[in-house]
Amino acid sequence: MNIDFHCHTTASDGSLSPLDLLHLALERDIDMLSITDHDTLDAYRQLDQTASKIQIIPGIELSSQWKKRGVHIVGLNIGLSSPSILEAVERQSNSRRERAEIIADKLERLGFTDCLAGALSFASGPNQIGRPHFAKHLVAIGAVSNIQQAFKRYLGAGKTGDIKDQWATPQQVISWIRDSGGVAVLAHPTKYKLTRSKLTELLTDFKAAGGEGLEVISGAQVPSVTRDMARLCRDFEFEASCGSDFHAPNQQWAALGRVAPLPDYCTPLWHRWQ
Protein backbone atom coordinates (compact mmCIF):
# COMPACT_ATOMS: atom_id res chain seq x y z
CA MET A 1 0.00 0.00 0.00
CA ASN A 2 1.22 3.48 -0.92
CA ILE A 3 -0.15 5.78 1.79
CA ASP A 4 0.23 9.54 2.13
CA PHE A 5 -1.73 11.06 4.99
CA HIS A 6 -0.08 14.50 5.10
CA CYS A 7 0.09 16.92 2.17
CA HIS A 8 -0.85 20.48 1.25
CA THR A 9 -2.39 22.35 -1.67
CA THR A 10 -2.91 25.97 -2.72
CA ALA A 11 -5.84 26.01 -0.30
CA SER A 12 -3.19 26.63 2.39
CA ASP A 13 0.57 26.84 1.75
CA GLY A 14 1.13 24.29 -1.03
CA SER A 15 2.03 25.08 -4.63
CA LEU A 16 -0.34 22.67 -6.44
CA SER A 17 -4.09 23.04 -6.75
CA PRO A 18 -6.13 20.21 -5.21
CA LEU A 19 -6.84 18.76 -8.67
CA ASP A 20 -3.18 18.96 -9.70
CA LEU A 21 -2.14 17.28 -6.47
CA LEU A 22 -4.67 14.51 -7.10
CA HIS A 23 -3.29 14.02 -10.61
CA LEU A 24 0.25 13.74 -9.18
CA ALA A 25 -1.01 11.23 -6.63
CA LEU A 26 -2.49 9.14 -9.46
CA GLU A 27 0.82 9.26 -11.35
CA ARG A 28 2.61 7.98 -8.25
CA ASP A 29 0.16 5.12 -7.66
CA ILE A 30 -0.98 6.31 -4.25
CA ASP A 31 -3.66 4.02 -2.81
CA MET A 32 -4.92 6.17 0.07
CA LEU A 33 -4.51 9.93 0.34
CA SER A 34 -5.43 12.61 2.84
CA ILE A 35 -5.10 16.29 1.94
CA THR A 36 -4.34 17.99 5.24
CA ASP A 37 -4.27 21.71 4.54
CA HIS A 38 -3.67 24.04 7.46
CA ASP A 39 -6.91 24.96 9.25
CA THR A 40 -9.08 24.71 6.12
CA LEU A 41 -11.21 22.22 4.19
CA ASP A 42 -11.36 24.28 0.99
CA ALA A 43 -9.43 21.68 -1.05
CA TYR A 44 -12.24 19.17 -0.70
CA ARG A 45 -14.70 21.56 -2.29
CA GLN A 46 -12.61 21.45 -5.46
CA LEU A 47 -12.31 17.67 -5.78
CA ASP A 48 -14.53 15.23 -7.59
CA GLN A 49 -13.68 12.32 -5.35
CA THR A 50 -15.94 9.91 -7.21
CA ALA A 51 -13.73 10.22 -10.32
CA SER A 52 -10.55 9.18 -8.55
CA LYS A 53 -9.11 5.70 -8.22
CA ILE A 54 -7.50 6.81 -4.97
CA GLN A 55 -9.27 6.27 -1.66
CA ILE A 56 -9.56 9.74 -0.17
CA ILE A 57 -9.52 10.05 3.63
CA PRO A 58 -10.77 13.56 4.51
CA GLY A 59 -8.22 15.37 6.63
CA ILE A 60 -7.00 18.65 8.06
CA GLU A 61 -3.92 19.91 9.93
CA LEU A 62 -4.85 22.07 12.90
CA SER A 63 -2.42 24.31 14.74
CA SER A 64 -2.30 24.26 18.53
CA GLN A 65 -0.23 25.59 21.39
CA TRP A 66 1.27 23.23 23.97
CA LYS A 67 3.29 24.76 26.81
CA LYS A 68 4.11 27.85 24.71
CA ARG A 69 5.16 25.69 21.74
CA GLY A 70 3.43 25.38 18.43
CA VAL A 71 2.25 21.81 17.81
CA HIS A 72 0.36 20.51 14.78
CA ILE A 73 -2.37 17.89 14.98
CA VAL A 74 -3.72 16.09 11.92
CA GLY A 75 -7.36 15.04 11.90
CA LEU A 76 -8.05 12.01 9.67
CA ASN A 77 -11.39 10.67 8.46
CA ILE A 78 -13.15 13.78 9.72
CA GLY A 79 -16.72 14.63 8.80
CA LEU A 80 -16.39 17.50 6.33
CA SER A 81 -19.80 18.93 7.24
CA SER A 82 -19.58 18.17 10.97
CA PRO A 83 -20.51 21.18 13.15
CA SER A 84 -17.44 20.59 15.32
CA ILE A 85 -14.95 20.65 12.44
CA LEU A 86 -16.68 23.67 10.88
CA GLU A 87 -16.34 25.43 14.24
CA ALA A 88 -12.66 24.49 14.28
CA VAL A 89 -12.11 25.96 10.82
CA GLU A 90 -13.87 29.20 11.73
CA ARG A 91 -12.01 29.60 15.02
CA GLN A 92 -8.64 28.73 13.52
CA SER A 93 -9.19 30.96 10.49
CA ASN A 94 -9.94 33.91 12.75
CA SER A 95 -6.83 33.13 14.79
CA ARG A 96 -4.74 32.84 11.62
CA ARG A 97 -5.90 36.25 10.42
CA GLU A 98 -5.20 37.88 13.80
CA ARG A 99 -1.79 36.21 13.91
CA ALA A 100 -0.93 37.51 10.45
CA GLU A 101 -1.68 41.06 11.56
CA ILE A 102 0.66 40.68 14.54
CA ILE A 103 3.44 39.20 12.39
CA ALA A 104 3.08 42.04 9.88
CA ASP A 105 3.27 44.64 12.63
CA LYS A 106 6.41 43.07 14.10
CA LEU A 107 8.11 42.85 10.70
CA GLU A 108 7.24 46.44 9.88
CA ARG A 109 8.87 47.53 13.13
CA LEU A 110 12.04 46.01 11.68
CA GLY A 111 11.67 48.22 8.62
CA PHE A 112 9.85 45.92 6.19
CA THR A 113 6.88 47.73 4.66
CA ASP A 114 3.51 46.47 3.37
CA CYS A 115 4.12 43.02 4.85
CA LEU A 116 0.48 42.10 5.33
CA ALA A 117 -0.52 43.04 1.79
CA GLY A 118 2.61 41.43 0.42
CA ALA A 119 2.04 38.14 2.23
CA LEU A 120 -1.63 38.17 1.26
CA SER A 121 -0.66 38.37 -2.41
CA PHE A 122 0.83 34.86 -2.05
CA ALA A 123 -2.04 33.39 0.01
CA SER A 124 -5.32 31.90 -1.18
CA GLY A 125 -7.26 34.30 1.05
CA PRO A 126 -7.08 36.41 4.22
CA ASN A 127 -7.96 33.43 6.42
CA GLN A 128 -5.17 31.26 5.03
CA ILE A 129 -2.20 33.58 5.39
CA GLY A 130 0.75 32.01 7.22
CA ARG A 131 4.47 32.37 7.79
CA PRO A 132 5.43 30.83 4.40
CA HIS A 133 3.54 33.65 2.69
CA PHE A 134 5.45 36.25 4.70
CA ALA A 135 8.64 34.43 3.76
CA LYS A 136 7.76 34.69 0.07
CA HIS A 137 7.12 38.41 0.50
CA LEU A 138 10.51 38.91 2.16
CA VAL A 139 12.16 37.11 -0.75
CA ALA A 140 10.19 39.20 -3.27
CA ILE A 141 11.32 42.52 -1.75
CA GLY A 142 14.94 41.38 -1.54
CA ALA A 143 15.11 41.27 2.26
CA VAL A 144 16.37 37.68 2.11
CA SER A 145 17.63 35.47 -0.68
CA ASN A 146 15.37 32.47 -0.09
CA ILE A 147 12.55 31.09 2.05
CA GLN A 148 14.93 29.18 4.34
CA GLN A 149 16.79 32.39 5.13
CA ALA A 150 13.51 34.17 5.89
CA PHE A 151 12.67 31.56 8.52
CA LYS A 152 16.19 31.49 9.91
CA ARG A 153 16.29 35.26 10.40
CA TYR A 154 12.71 36.36 11.01
CA LEU A 155 10.01 33.68 11.03
CA GLY A 156 11.39 30.48 12.56
CA ALA A 157 11.09 29.24 16.13
CA GLY A 158 11.96 31.96 18.61
CA LYS A 159 12.25 34.67 15.94
CA THR A 160 10.24 37.87 15.54
CA GLY A 161 7.51 36.30 13.45
CA ASP A 162 7.06 33.16 15.54
CA ILE A 163 3.63 33.90 17.02
CA LYS A 164 1.67 31.06 18.67
CA ASP A 165 -0.57 32.64 21.30
CA GLN A 166 -3.67 32.64 19.07
CA TRP A 167 -3.92 28.87 18.66
CA ALA A 168 -6.29 26.55 20.50
CA THR A 169 -5.02 24.02 23.04
CA PRO A 170 -4.36 20.42 21.96
CA GLN A 171 -7.31 19.36 24.11
CA GLN A 172 -9.64 21.63 22.16
CA VAL A 173 -8.22 20.57 18.80
CA ILE A 174 -8.51 16.87 19.64
CA SER A 175 -12.08 17.42 20.82
CA TRP A 176 -13.01 19.06 17.50
CA ILE A 177 -11.51 16.14 15.58
CA ARG A 178 -13.07 13.39 17.67
CA ASP A 179 -16.49 15.07 17.70
CA SER A 180 -16.39 15.10 13.90
CA GLY A 181 -15.81 11.34 13.84
CA GLY A 182 -12.10 11.66 13.11
CA VAL A 183 -8.84 10.41 14.55
CA ALA A 184 -6.31 12.85 16.04
CA VAL A 185 -2.68 12.27 14.98
CA LEU A 186 0.35 14.14 16.30
CA ALA A 187 2.12 15.47 13.21
CA HIS A 188 5.91 15.30 12.58
CA PRO A 189 6.98 14.85 16.24
CA THR A 190 10.70 15.31 15.52
CA LYS A 191 10.23 18.77 14.02
CA TYR A 192 9.48 20.38 17.38
CA LYS A 193 13.11 19.93 18.48
CA LEU A 194 12.08 18.69 21.92
CA THR A 195 14.29 16.92 24.40
CA ARG A 196 13.39 13.29 25.03
CA SER A 197 11.72 14.11 28.31
CA LYS A 198 9.69 16.94 26.74
CA LEU A 199 8.63 14.75 23.81
CA THR A 200 7.53 12.05 26.25
CA GLU A 201 5.57 14.67 28.18
CA LEU A 202 3.91 15.88 24.97
CA LEU A 203 2.95 12.34 23.96
CA THR A 204 1.58 11.65 27.44
CA ASP A 205 -0.58 14.78 27.34
CA PHE A 206 -1.65 14.06 23.76
CA LYS A 207 -2.84 10.56 24.66
CA ALA A 208 -4.60 11.75 27.81
CA ALA A 209 -6.53 14.31 25.72
CA GLY A 210 -7.79 11.61 23.34
CA GLY A 211 -5.08 11.53 20.68
CA GLU A 212 -4.88 8.13 18.99
CA GLY A 213 -2.17 8.36 16.32
CA LEU A 214 1.46 9.31 15.83
CA GLU A 215 3.07 10.32 12.54
CA VAL A 216 5.93 7.85 12.64
CA ILE A 217 7.27 8.90 9.23
CA SER A 218 7.29 12.48 7.96
CA GLY A 219 8.88 12.90 4.55
CA ALA A 220 12.37 11.60 3.81
CA GLN A 221 13.73 10.86 7.27
CA VAL A 222 16.64 8.61 8.19
CA PRO A 223 15.80 5.01 9.20
CA SER A 224 17.10 5.46 12.76
CA VAL A 225 14.55 8.24 13.36
CA THR A 226 11.78 6.07 11.95
CA ARG A 227 12.73 3.21 14.27
CA ASP A 228 12.81 5.55 17.26
CA MET A 229 9.39 7.04 16.46
CA ALA A 230 8.00 3.56 15.86
CA ARG A 231 9.14 2.46 19.31
CA LEU A 232 7.48 5.47 20.89
CA CYS A 233 4.34 4.76 18.90
CA ARG A 234 4.30 1.19 20.21
CA ASP A 235 5.13 2.18 23.80
CA PHE A 236 2.27 4.70 23.92
CA GLU A 237 -0.08 2.31 22.11
CA PHE A 238 -0.75 4.77 19.30
CA GLU A 239 -1.68 3.75 15.80
CA ALA A 240 0.96 4.73 13.24
CA SER A 241 0.47 7.23 10.44
CA CYS A 242 2.83 8.50 7.77
CA GLY A 243 2.95 11.28 5.21
CA SER A 244 5.23 13.26 2.97
CA ASP A 245 4.25 16.71 4.29
CA PHE A 246 4.26 17.63 0.60
CA HIS A 247 4.16 21.31 -0.33
CA ALA A 248 5.83 21.57 -3.74
CA PRO A 249 7.12 19.17 -6.44
CA ASN A 250 10.71 20.42 -6.24
CA GLN A 251 11.15 19.46 -2.57
CA GLN A 252 12.59 15.98 -2.67
CA TRP A 253 12.67 15.71 1.12
CA ALA A 254 8.86 15.91 1.08
CA ALA A 255 7.91 14.14 -2.13
CA LEU A 256 4.27 13.13 -2.51
CA GLY A 257 3.82 9.36 -2.30
CA ARG A 258 7.49 8.71 -1.62
CA VAL A 259 7.12 7.59 1.98
CA ALA A 260 9.09 4.63 3.34
CA PRO A 261 7.21 1.60 4.72
CA LEU A 262 6.39 1.51 8.41
CA PRO A 263 8.30 -0.94 10.61
CA ASP A 264 6.45 -4.25 10.96
CA TYR A 265 5.75 -3.80 14.66
CA CYS A 266 3.62 -0.67 14.07
CA THR A 267 -0.17 -0.84 13.88
CA PRO A 268 -1.06 1.17 10.75
CA LEU A 269 -3.86 3.66 11.22
CA TRP A 270 -5.24 3.02 7.73
CA HIS A 271 -6.33 -0.50 8.64
CA ARG A 272 -9.43 1.24 10.03
CA TRP A 273 -10.56 2.15 6.51
CA GLN A 274 -9.51 -0.80 4.38
In this structure, the answer to whether residues 238 and 259 fall within a common structural domain is yes
With a cut of 90, say whether residue 235 has pLDDT above it: yes
Domain total of the chain: 2
Q: What's 207's DSSP letter?
A: H
Which of the residue ranges 14-18, 58-62, 97-101, 258-262 would you say has the lowest mean pLDDT?
Answer: 97-101
In this structure, the answer to whether residues 78 and 106 fall within a common structural domain is no
Q: Show the domain range for 213.
A: 3-89+171-273
Cα–Cα distance for residue pair 6/253, rounded to 1 Å: 13
| Domain assignment of residue 145, yes or no | yes
- What average pLDDT does the segment 186-215 reach? 97
In this structure, the answer to whether residues 78 and 109 fall within a common structural domain is no
Going by pLDDT thresholds of 50, 70 and 90, the confidence category of residue 123 is confident
Going by pLDDT thresholds of 50, 70 and 90, the confidence category of residue 183 is very high
With a cut of 60, say whether residue 198 has pLDDT above it: yes
Report the pLDDT value the prediction gives residue 166, as an integer from 0 to 100.
79
Report the pLDDT value the prediction gives residue 68, as an integer from 0 to 100.
86
Q: What average pLDDT does the structure give for the chain?
A: 93
| Domain assignment of residue 164, yes or no | no
Report CA-CA distances (Å) from 131 to 97, 104, 141, 163: 11, 10, 16, 9
What is the domain-level CATH number for residue 44? 3.20.20.140
> How far from each other are the two terminal CA atoms of the chain, in whole angstroms?
11
In this structure, the answer to whether residues 19 and 137 fall within a common structural domain is no
Whether residue 242 contacts residue 270, with contact meaning beta carbons closer than 8 Å, is answered with no
Report the pLDDT value the prediction gives residue 49, as an integer from 0 to 100.
60
Phi/psi at 221 (5° precision) = -110, 160
Whether residue 112 contacts residue 138, with contact meaning beta carbons closer than 8 Å, is answered with yes
The count of other CB atoms within 10 Å of the CB of residue 86 is 15
| Domain assignment of residue 215, yes or no | yes
In this structure, the answer to whether residues 109 and 209 fall within a common structural domain is no
| Domain assignment of residue 57, yes or no | yes
Q: What's 168's DSSP letter?
A: B
pLDDT digits (tens, 9 = 90+) for 44-100: 988 876 557 899 999 999 999 999 888 999 999 999 999 999 999 999 988 888 889
In this structure, the answer to whether residues 81 and 179 fall within a common structural domain is yes
In this structure, the answer to whether residues 29 and 144 fall within a common structural domain is no
In this structure, the answer to whether residues 183 and 51 fall within a common structural domain is yes
The four Cα atoms 44, 191, 240, 30 give a dihedral, to 10 degrees, of 50
Which of the residue ranges 30-34, 157-161, 227-231, 245-249 would you say has the lowest mean pLDDT?
Answer: 157-161
In this structure, the answer to whether residues 261 and 180 fall within a common structural domain is yes
Q: What's 221's DSSP letter?
A: -
Cβ-based burial of 19 (10 A; exposed 0-12, middle 13-18, buried ≥19): middle
Q: Name the H helices within 74-222.
A: 83-109, 115-120, 131-140, 147-150, 170-179, 196-208
What is the domain-level CATH number for residue 139? 1.10.150.650
Report the pLDDT value the prediction gives residue 127, as an integer from 0 to 100.
72
Q: What's 261's DSSP letter?
A: P
Report the pLDDT value the prediction gives residue 230, as an integer from 0 to 100.
97
Residue percentage of the chain with pLDDT more than 90: 81
Which of the residue ranges 47-51, 118-122, 159-163, 204-208 would you say has the lowest mean pLDDT?
Answer: 47-51
- What average pLDDT does the segment 16-35 reach? 96
| Domain assignment of residue 160, yes or no | no
Report the pLDDT value the prediction gives residue 51, as an integer from 0 to 100.
59
In this structure, the answer to whether residues 219 and 182 fall within a common structural domain is yes
